[in-house]
Chain A
Amino acid sequence: MDNMIDITKMAPNRRTLITAVAAGAAASVVLPRFAQAAAAVAAPSAKDYPMKAFTQKTEAATLQAMYGTSTVTTSPDVKMDAPDIAENGAVVPISFDANAKDVTGAAILAIDNPFVMACAYKIPAGTDPAISSRVKLGKTTKVVSVIQSGGKLMSTSKQVKVTLGGCG
């Protein structure tokens, strides 16, 4: 009895689920009344998009374009979850989790994709450097999770075997 956890003292981990529709007329139908204030928030600007980083064909060129450096250290402080074998290359779940302070950014690279950069994130203070998402892999490839922390890049990687390529 002494070891029972008092759940009333454990603050709940709060969650929110968002299911959002595509741009266009449909978006206005789904917005609930209480979200009107949020609608006043401007959409992000495409000017901020690091287009050059998304059109490179090597890891070094991608990191150089995104972060201004291609110097990256493999680190046990970056953990990545990726399947050994991806049956469907169009939807491959990838998660990373960094044990680091001052994380400012992250990126997922697929070395043998037509363009190496799959996605990148700007992570503000207060947001956990741990993100789960799904990417397309064109064929069997090394997947690299890169974390930008304290101005430096660190990473971990995993070879993901792809059965059915995700590029169509």
Chain B
Amino acid sequence: MTSGDTTTVEALIKHPMDSGFVKDAAGKIIPAHYIEVIEFTHQGKIVLTGYWGPAVSKNPFIKFSFKGGKSGEPIGVSWVDNKGETATTSSNIM
């Protein structure tokens, strides 16, 4: 349900999301490597926290909406994965 004052976020994150169940061509297990915690922020406020696991698809896609937001304002996304690697990026509301 959207009012006129809603922002919809669609994000495509590049990450292998290796489950740790898959073997490579040589028969060796590809180690698990997946995003654990991901946060979406708007004006310093967290609008969504995701707890992801090895069953989230590779290059995760997510779509959600929250009240508020104006064109031009940035939406931040940052995450930490099971190896402790982190990343942060941002995109402006269209």
A residues bordering B, Cβ < 8 Å? 10-24, 27, 30-32, 34-35, 37-39, 41-46, 48-50, 53-54, 90-92, 95, 110, 113-115, 117-124, 126-128, 130-138, 166-168
Inside 8 A of B46's CB, which chain A residues have their CB? 124
Beyond A35-B90, A110-B55, 8 additional contacts (C-beta under 8 Å) are A27-B89, A38-B90, A41-B88, A46-B80, A117-B53, A124-B46, A136-B55, A167-B22
Contacting pair B23 A131 (CB below 8 A): no
Inside 8 A of B8's CB, which chain A residues have their CB? 13-16
Contacting pair A136 B19 (CB below 8 A): yes
Kindly state the interface size class of chain B when it binds its partner: 35 or more
**Which of B61, B88, B94 is A27 in contact with, Cβ under 8 Å?**
B88
Contacting pair B37 A14 (CB below 8 A): no
Given contacts A23-B81, A119-B50, A167-B22, contact A130 B64 (CB under 8 A): yes
Given contacts A44-B78, A167-B22, contact A134 B4 (CB under 8 A): no
**Which of B21, B51, B82, B86 is A114 in contact with, Cβ under 8 Å?**
B21
Inside 8 A of A11's CB, which chain B residues have their CB? 3-5
Contacting pair B49 A121 (CB below 8 A): yes
Contacting pair A18 B4 (CB below 8 A): no
Contacting pair B65 A17 (CB below 8 A): no
Contacting pair B7 A46 (CB below 8 A): no
| Docked complex: B64-80 residues within 8 A CB-CB of A | 64-71, 74-80
Inside 8 A of B50's CB, which chain A residues have their CB? 119-121
Residue of B nearest to A42 (CB): B78
B residues bordering A, Cβ < 8 Å? 1-16, 19, 21-23, 36-39, 41, 44-58, 60-71, 74-82, 84-94
CA distance A96 to B9 in the complex (A): 15
CA distance A132 to B10 in the complex (A): 9
Most chain B beta-carbon neighbours within 10 Å: one of A12, A118, A121, A127: A127
Inside 8 A of A114's CB, which chain B residues have their CB? 21
Inside 8 A of B57's CB, which chain A residues have their CB? 90-92, 133-136, 166
How far does the Cβ of B74 sit from chain A's closest Cβ, in whole Å?
Answer: 6
Inside 8 A of B70's CB, which chain A residues have their CB? 14
Closest CB pairs A-B (n = 5): A11-B4, A168-B22, A43-B86, A23-B85, A35-B90
